[in-house]
Every structure is written in structure tokens, then in C-alpha cells.
Chains A and B, each alone.
Chain A
Amino acid sequence: RKEVEQDPGPFNVPEGATVAFNCTYSNSASQSFFWYRQDCRKEPKLLMSVYSSGNEDGRFTAQLNRASQYISLLIRDSKLSDSATYLCVARSGGYQKVTFGTGTKLQVIP
């Protein structure tokens, strides 16, 4: 079983739609969580950190469920520019091992 698992997609959604991605992690020692986005042939860029109480940044909402060991990303009012691969990241304590999921591909269509 992978340490961080994501549905690879692709998720094809129309502009303006709301879309949600889930990500599960297996290491219960994971303490910090992040969402990155990666455009084709570019470097991953930090989208947002994920806090236990949930957090929102504009059209993006991230949530963490420690009991079930999953995090989610909700995108409201999708834009064409949201088309990318979204990477879920879990980081453990100690020397802070960082594990990336393989990503969920989102395609927003006009």
C-alpha cells in the first residue's frame, strides 16, 4: 500500500463547477499536510497547507480528518487556469520525512 494515495483522475469538469479531491495517508505519524499543484512540465508549487481545523484560501478549501487519515481539497467555481495535477503531501515528525502522492489530474473544460 502506498503511503499517500490519490485517485489519478482525470477529473474533467466544466467551468464554474465545484470539484473535490481526496487523499489518504497510511502513516499515522504524519503531522503536516500540504497540497501542491503541478502544471505540465513545470515544478510543483505550494497551493496551501492543511490545518486540523480546515482552512480556506479564496476558492480553495482544505480539510484534514485525522481519525480516517485523509485530507481533501475542494475547488469552487472552477477556472480554466485550475487545470493541473494536484499533489497531496504528508510530512512526519522527527527528521520530517516528506511523502508525495502521485497526483490527481484536473481538466477544466469551457
Chain B
Amino acid sequence: NAGVMQNPRHLVRRRGQEARLRCSPMKGHSHVYWYRQLPEEGLKFMVYLQKENIIDESGMPKERFSAEFPKEGPSILRIQQVVRGDSAAYFCASRQGNQPQHFGDGTRLSIL
């Protein structure tokens, strides 16, 4: 019974490149959340998606960041033209119904 799967675990990009982070929710979960965490800081909510719909993107930067959760396949967090300040751990969580969220291991993004 696999948990939330995120890949890659580590991603290195140069400034100006694109970063794509993937999240496969737990089986049967249709709600996905993305969070960003800078070193020594708390989790920052980015976006909440339900299959094919963005429910709340109030935590997403206005530019360069986008997220999707297609009918088939994983949720994708996409960062275009990355900058040094995008370096962080990005966590995905999923849930179903009234159950609590469960987190993936995260993707550590490093920008050179």
C-alpha cells in the first residue's frame, strides 16, 4: 500500500532552467496539496488541487509557478526560469474525505 510518492528526491537546476516536480497521491486520494519549506522555516502552503481542478492557489507566486493534477497521472508542480530563491524542499500531501493529509518524502530543489 504505497504512500505518497514524490520524484525526484533531489533536483539540481541552473538559473533560468525549468523544474518539474511530480507527486503521485496515495491510492484513492483525489486531493493534493503542495508546500514549500525553506531551511529552518515552516511549511508554506502553495496550492490545493482536486482532480483536474485548482481549488486554492493563494500560496503560489504569481509568476513562473504552475500546478496541475490531470485526470490520469501524477500532479505536477512546474517552476519556470528558476532563480536561486527557489531552492527549497517541496512537499506534496494527499488526502481523501475527512481523513488527515499524508506527506511524500519531498523533493529537494537546488539552484546553481
A residues with CB within 8 A of B:
32, 34, 41-46, 49, 87, 89, 95-103
Contacts of A102 in B (CB 8 A): 41-43
Contacts of B104 in A (CB 8 A): 43
Whether B103 contacts A41 by the Cβ 8 Å rule is no
Q: In residues 31-48 of chain B, which contact A (Cβ within 8 Å)?
A: 31, 33, 35, 41-43, 45, 48
Whether A43 contacts B103 by the Cβ 8 Å rule is yes
Given contacts A43-B91, A100-B45, contact A49 B100 (CB under 8 A): yes
Q: In residues 3-62 of chain B, which contact A (Cβ within 8 Å)?
A: 31, 33, 35, 41-43, 45, 48, 55-56
**Alpha-carbon distance between A35 and B105 when the two chains are bound, in angstroms:** 18
Q: Which of A46, A97, A99 contacts B100 (CB 8 A)?
A: A46
In the complex, which residue of chain A has the Cβ closest to the Cβ of B89?
A: A41
Whether A98 contacts B91 by the Cβ 8 Å rule is no
Interchain nearest-CB distance for B87 vs A (Å): 14
Contacts of A96 in B (CB 8 A): 31, 98
Interchain nearest-CB distance for A52 vs B (Å): 14
Q: In residues 52-108 of chain B, which contact A (Cβ within 8 Å)?
A: 55-56, 89, 91, 93, 98, 100-106
**Alpha-carbon distance between A27 and B35 when the two chains are bound, in angstroms:** 20
Contacts of A100 in B (CB 8 A): 35, 42-43, 45
Whether B43 contacts A87 by the Cβ 8 Å rule is yes
**Alpha-carbon distance between A46 and B93 when the two chains are bound, in angstroms:** 11
In the complex, which residue of chain A has the Cβ closest to the Cβ of B39?
A: A41
Whether A43 contacts B106 by the Cβ 8 Å rule is yes
Interchain nearest-CB distance for A48 vs B (Å): 9
**Alpha-carbon distance between A65 and B91 when the two chains are bound, in angstroms:** 30
In the complex, which residue of chain A has the Cβ closest to the Cβ of B92?
A: A43
Interchain nearest-CB distance for B36 vs A (Å): 12
**Alpha-carbon distance between A46 and B92 when the two chains are bound, in angstroms:** 14
